[in-house]
Chain A
Amino acid sequence: MSQPDEPGAPRTPEPGPAEPGSEVVAPEPGADLTGRGPSQPAPQPESGEARASRALRDIATGSFGVTVLAFVLALVIGAVLIIFTTDSVTSTLSYFFSKPGDFFSAAWEAVRDSYVAMFRGAVINDRGWSFTTVFKPLTETMTVATPLIIAALGVAVAFRAGLFNIGAQGQVILGATFAGYIGFTWHLPVVVHVIVAIVGGILGGAIWASIAGVLRARTGAHEVIVTIMLNYVALYLLAYLLTTRFFTQAGSNQPKSPAVGPNANLPLLLGDQFRLNAGFLVAILASVFVWWLMTRSTWGFRFRAVGSNPNASRNAGIGVATTFIAVMAVSGALAGLAGAVQVLGTEKSLTGGIAGSLGFDAITVALLGRSKPLGIFFAGLLYAALDVGGRAMEAATGTPIDLVLVIQSLVVLFIAAPPLVRAIFRLPAPRTEAKGAQA
C-alpha cells in the first residue's frame, strides 16, 4: 500500500468515554434526560508538540483561585526566609528551648515589619506627612507597572495563539529605540510629536517580532529560538547605536542619547511631584484594546482558533501561516509600545539598559494574569508593587530586595504547577486534572 502515514498513531474517531480516569468529573451523561452523549471532550491523539502547547495554554490560562493561593504561598515562604535571615530572630535561636517565646515574637516582628514596609513602599504610606508622601508609593507602582502591563499584553496575545514570544525584551528595545530616535531628533508640533514617536515604537516592535513570525510561517523555525536570539541582536544593536553620533549627545562619549524633545514627552498626570505619566492611560487603553481584539474581532477569533487547533483552522480556510505573522506583529507591536512608553514617559532618554528586564518580567506577568487583559492589568500592578515595595523594604528594615525576586519566582513556580497548589490547599481537581488525580 502506498499510504504515506501508516497509522502508527491511531486516529481515533471515537470520542469514547473509554479512557479510564478521564471522566472522573464528567461521566457519561447519556443517562441524563436529554439522552445526550458523553459530554466530556474527546480524548484526542496528541503529538508531543500539541501536548506541550496544551500544557502551555493550561498554565497561561489557569484559574484565578490558584493564582491568588500561589501568591499567598509565596508570601508564606518569603516569611520563612525573612525569619531565618534576620539577625534579631536568629540570635534568639541559641536559647530557643529555654525561651521559645522570644523566637516567635522576634520572628513575627521581623515578618510584620518587612511586609508592612513593603506595603508602605508600594501602596500607601500611612505615615506620610503630606498628600504627596502618602500617595507617592502608589503612583510609583503604577508608573513601574505601565510598561510591564503593555508588554505582558503582547506576550499574552501570542500565548493565546499558541506562540511563545520570548522576544518581548528585544521588541521593547526596538520600540524604545524607534520612539526615542523620533523623540530626540525630529521636531514636530505638540501632540503630533508624541503620537508619531509612539507609532514609531509600535512599528519597531512589530517589525522585530515579525521577523520571528515570518521565519516561523515560511520555514517552520521555532519562534522560541528565534525570539531568544533576536533579544541578543536587539541588545547589541542598541549598544552599537549608542556609540554612533546619531544617537549620542554632541560632545559626549557616554552611551546615552539626548533627552527626547518636550513635545514627545508623555505628559505627567499628577504634576511634577509624581513620575506617573500618560503612559498609564495608554496601558489602560491597550488592555481594553487587547480585550476587544481577542474576544470581539475577527483577528482575535483567528488567533485563538489557530492557537487551539491549527488543523481545523486550516480546514476552515484560515491561513495559518499568515496568522502566525499577524500574531507576532501584534505581539511585538505591544512590546514596542511598552518600550516607547518607557522612553517617552519615564526614562526620557535612551540608554543601553532602557528595557531593564521588562521583556522577561512581561512573560511572568502574562502568566500571572492568565493571559487575560484584566488579569494582566492587575498582575502588572502586583508585580510592580513587589518591586517598588521591595526597595522600600530594604531601606526600612534591611531585608534584602532579593527576597522580592524569590517571591516573584515562587509565584510563577506555583502557578506553573497548579496541582501542587491544589494539593497544598486540598482543592478539588478540575476536570482537566482528573486524570492525574485518579492515577
Chain B
Amino acid sequence: MKLELRGITKRFGPLVANDHIDLVVEPGQVHALLGENGAGKSTLMNVLFGLYKADEGEILVDDEAVAFKGPGDALAAGIGMVHQHFMLVPVFTVAENVMLGHEPTRGGGLLDLDAARRTVRELSDRFGFGLDPDAVVEDLPVGVQQRVEIVKALVRDAKVLILDEPTAVLTPQETDELIAIMRELKAQGTSIVFITHKLREVKAVADVITVIRRGAVVGSASPDAAETELAAMMVGRAVSLGVDKSPAQPGEETFQVEHLTVRDANGIAVVDDVSFSVARGEILAVAGVQGNGQTELSEAVVGLLPATGSIRLEGRELVGLSPHEILDAGVGFVPEDRTVDGLVLDFTVAENLVLDLHDRKPYARGIALDLGAIRKNARERIAEYDIRTQGPGQEVGRLSGGNQQKVVMARELSRPLKVFVASQPTRGVDVGSIEFLHKRIVAERDHGTPVVIVSTELDEVAALADRIAVMYRGKIVGIVPADTPRAVLGLMMAGAGAEEAHEQATETELDQLADEHTHETGAQQ
C-alpha cells in the first residue's frame, strides 16, 4: 500500500505545528521521521491516524484521497499505530488484549479465546515475536509489551505501521530486537513509519529518512549519511556528538563506596557488595543493562534506599543518614526519571529550582519564603542553563523534556557540591540539549568535583567517562579505562569479568578471521 501525505498543515491557535508537510511512504519501506522533541512528528502522525483533523492538505492511500474521521477509519484503511505509551490492559492476557475491541465470538455471544490465541500464535511465529498468548501483560517486560501492540495492529491487517518513538522505553537489547522485528515486517511487505530522534537507530533500519524541524520538512537523507550531518539537519546547526573534554586530572579520592549492599523487599541483594571510589576531577560512569542495580546504587547513595556497607564523602559516613542530611553533606543528585522523581510538575520553574533549598537562606527567612530571591535565582539559572521557558512562573510540566532536565541539572549543580551523582542524565532529551548537559557535567568535573554518571547508553558512557564501572546483577564486574572497546564493554555488561572480556573480545577478532565456529561459541558465552 502506498501512503502519501500532501501539504498537511495543522495549526493550534497561532502555532503552526505542521507546515505543508509532504511525505510518501512506498510499500515495503521503512520510512524514518527524524526530528527533535517537539518538531511536529507526533502531530503529523496523529493527523494521519485520524486523531486530529488537518487544517490543510490531504492524505492519499494508493493515490486516492481519503478522509479519516477517527482512528477507526485509519485502521480500516490499513494504518496501524503503536503509541509511545502503550494502550494495553495490564491485567489482561496477551490474547485478550489483542482481541479487545473486535472480539471473536462463538454462538451465543461467547468469547472465542481459542481463536484469539491461535491468531496471536500465528502472527508471533510468522514474525518471530515469541509471544505467549496466555501471559498476563503486566508481567511482561516493556519490549514484549510493545510487540503485543504491534500484533494488535497486525491483527487488523495493517499495511502501514506507525511506530511512535518505539525505542524510548527500550533497553539497548530490546532495541536491537525491535530493529530485527522491523526488518522482518518489512521483508513481509509491511511499510513502517518510524518516528524517532535517535540517529543510530535510523541509520540501522531506515530506507528513507525525512527530517522535520519546527513543523516543516527540512529535507530527506539516505541512511548512509553521517550522524553529524543528520544531527545538524535536525537541530538546524552543527552539533558535536562527542564531548570536548580535556583528560581528567584526578585529585584526591574523596568519594568512597565500600561493600555497599542494597536489598529489595524480598531480601534479594539488588546491589551486591559494591566497592569503588571516585577522585576529585574525575567522572566515573556506571554502565550496564537497565535493571542490574545501577538505579538502586544511585538511590542508596542519597539515602532513598536502606543500605549496608559504607559510603564515605570526604571522610564522612553517609550510610544511615536521611536524604536531607545527605544533600546537606554536599551530594548533588539527578534522579533517573525526572517527571517521577526529579520535578514537581505543577510547580513553577522557580519553585522547582529551589525544591531542595527552599528552607534555607537566601530563599527563606525563618519560615517565610523570600519570593524575590527565589525569582532572582530562577532568572539566573534560566539564563545560565538556557532553559527555554516563558518565565520563572511557568509550570515545569509544560516544558519539553530537555528543558525539564535542564531544570533538574540547574538545581543540583547550583549549590556547592562535594560529589555529583546523575542517573541517566540525558534520557529522552533531544540532541541539542544533550550536548549542553554533557558540557555542564564535564564543567563540574573540571571544577574539582567527583562525578558519578549512571547510564545505560554506551554512547553517553563513552562520551563522558574517565573510568567505566560495569554492573551486572548487582555487582561491579570490573572498572576499566574509558578507552575500553565497545565489544569488551558489551561482554562485561553480559557478566564477563574485565580480563575475561578482553580475552574473549580479542579472541573473537582473531578467530573471526580463522574460524567461524569459534566465533559463534565466543559470542554465545
Contact check, B51 vs A312: say whether CB atoms are below 8 A apart.
no
Instruction: Find the A residue at minimum CB distance from B293.
Output: A2
Contact check, A28 vs B324: say whether CB atoms are below 8 A apart.
no
Listed stretches B99-107, B175-183, B260-268, B435-443; interface member: B260-268
Known: A20-B49, A315-B333, A317-B328. A2 touches B268 (CB 8 A): yes
* A346-B19 Cα distance, complex, nearest whole Å: 67
Q: Is B140 an interface residue (CB 8 A)?
A: yes
Instruction: Find the B residue at minimum CB distance from A7.
Output: B142
| Chain A at the B interface: SS class | loop
Chain A residues within an 8 Å CB radius of B90: 8-9
Q: Is A425 an interface residue (CB 8 A)?
A: no
* A299-B37 Cα distance, complex, nearest whole Å: 36
From B164, B333, B345, A309 is in contact (CB under 8 Å) with B345
Contact check, A36 vs B51: say whether CB atoms are below 8 A apart.
no
Q: Is A17 an interface residue (CB 8 A)?
A: yes
Contact check, B15 vs A32: say whether CB atoms are below 8 A apart.
yes
Chain A residues within an 8 Å CB radius of B216: 31
* A352-B336 Cα distance, complex, nearest whole Å: 54
Q: Is B381 an interface residue (CB 8 A)?
A: no
Chain B residues within an 8 Å CB radius of A317: 322-324, 326-328, 356
Q: Is A27 an interface residue (CB 8 A)?
A: yes
Q: Is B388 an interface residue (CB 8 A)?
A: yes
* A41-B345 Cα distance, complex, nearest whole Å: 7
Q: Is B277 an interface residue (CB 8 A)?
A: no
Q: Is A220 an interface residue (CB 8 A)?
A: no
Q: List 6 A-B contacts (CB under 8 A).
A: A2-B272, A14-B37, A16-B37, A19-B84, A42-B339, A298-B359
Most B CB within 10 A of own CB, among A6, A9, A27, A298: A27
* A314-B347 Cα distance, complex, nearest whole Å: 15
Q: Is B351 an interface residue (CB 8 A)?
A: yes
Chain A residues within an 8 Å CB radius of B322: 317, 319
Contact check, B369 vs A297: say whether CB atoms are below 8 A apart.
yes
A-B contacts besides A13-B168, A26-B12, A317-B324, 12 pairs, CB < 8 Å:
A4-B265, A12-B85, A18-B84, A24-B52, A31-B39, A32-B214, A45-B340, A296-B368, A302-B359, A304-B347, A305-B355, A315-B342
* A308-B346 Cα distance, complex, nearest whole Å: 7
Contact with A along B13-57 (1 / 0, CB 8 A): 001111100000000000000011111111100100101100000
Contact check, A298 vs B367: say whether CB atoms are below 8 A apart.
yes
The size of the chain A interface, using a CB distance under 8 A, is 62
Contact check, B324 vs A318: say whether CB atoms are below 8 A apart.
yes
Among B42-90, those with CB < 8 Å from A are: 42-43, 46, 49, 51-52, 71, 83-86, 90
Q: Is B191 an interface residue (CB 8 A)?
A: no
B-side interface residues toward A, CB under 8 Å? Answer: 10, 12, 15-19, 35-43, 46, 49, 51-52, 71, 83-86, 90, 138-142, 145, 164-165, 168-169, 195, 213-216, 236, 264-266, 268-270, 272, 290-293, 296, 302, 304, 322-324, 326-328, 333, 335-347, 351, 355-356, 358-359, 364, 367-369, 371, 388-389, 395, 397-404, 424, 427-428, 430, 473-474
* A10-B322 Cα distance, complex, nearest whole Å: 28
Instruction: Find the A residue at minimum CB distance from B164.
Output: A18
* A42-B15 Cα distance, complex, nearest whole Å: 19
Contact check, B400 vs A301: say whether CB atoms are below 8 A apart.
no
Among A1-53, those with CB < 8 Å from B are: 1-4, 6-21, 23-32, 34-45
Contact check, B264 vs A42: say whether CB atoms are below 8 A apart.
no
Chain A residues within an 8 Å CB radius of B343: 309, 312
Q: Is A438 an interface residue (CB 8 A)?
A: yes
Chain A residues within an 8 Å CB radius of B338: 13
* A1-B364 Cα distance, complex, nearest whole Å: 46
Among A256-303, those with CB < 8 Å from B are: 296-299, 301-302
Q: Nearest 5 pairs between A and B by C-beta? A: A37-B400, A30-B38, A41-B397, A31-B215, A4-B264
Contact check, A38 vs B400: say whether CB atoms are below 8 A apart.
yes
Chain B residues within an 8 Å CB radius of A43: 85
Chain B residues within an 8 Å CB radius of A249: none
A1: min CB distance to chain B, Å: 6
